[in-house]
Structures are given as structure tokens and as C-alpha cells.
Amino acid sequence: MMKSLCMNLVVSMSRAVLMTILSETHVWLSEIEAEELYHELLAYFGLIGATEECQALESAWKDPYNRREIEEFIKAWLRRKRRKEAEAITGVV
């Protein structure tokens, strides 16, 4: 039970780091979209299952090179999301 509690705390902290990143980049997403981005971001940067997931994400954000990479990933993710939504709309017409 303690391990589960610790894992939930780490996941919550990691999401808090993501929300800080999104806030600093002036990106506002729904909870579902943020969750989707969170998982894709962790997978892309190889952070899934990292012992210190939250610390790794926060450290990456503080590093200028990684910060730029994270920002570019988020921008590309948003473009893909918009394109998929546009395709879904035009597919309906």
C-alpha cells in the first residue's frame, strides 16, 4: 500500500511539473489533453518508469537545450492534434 501511495504522489508531482511547463509556455489544455500529452512526452523523452520521473522532467525543463526540445515537442503535438481534429471535421462533411 505504501508503494502505491508513493507512486501516486510521484505521478501527481510529475503532472504538476507538466502543468507548470504548460503554464510557462502559455498552453492551456483540458485535463484529458494534458494527460495524453503527459504520457506522450514521457515516452518521447524516455522517462516512463524512471525512478525519479518528476525530478527528471523538472531537470530537463531547467536545462536550456532540453527546454527547447520540450517546447518543440509540445508545439508539434499541438499541430498534430489540430490536424487530426481538422481531418475529423472535414471527414464528416
Sign of torsion over alpha carbons 30, 33, 35, 41: negative
Q: What's CA 26's distance to the chain center, in Å? A: 14
pTM for this model (two decimals) = 0.75
Structural domain including 84 reads 2-92
pLDDT digits (tens, 9 = 90+) for 42-74: 889 888 777 777 788 888 888 999 999 999 999
Looking at the 3D structure of the chain, how many domains does it have?
1
Residue 69 identity (one-letter amino acid): E
Task: Give the position of cell 514521457.
Answer: 42
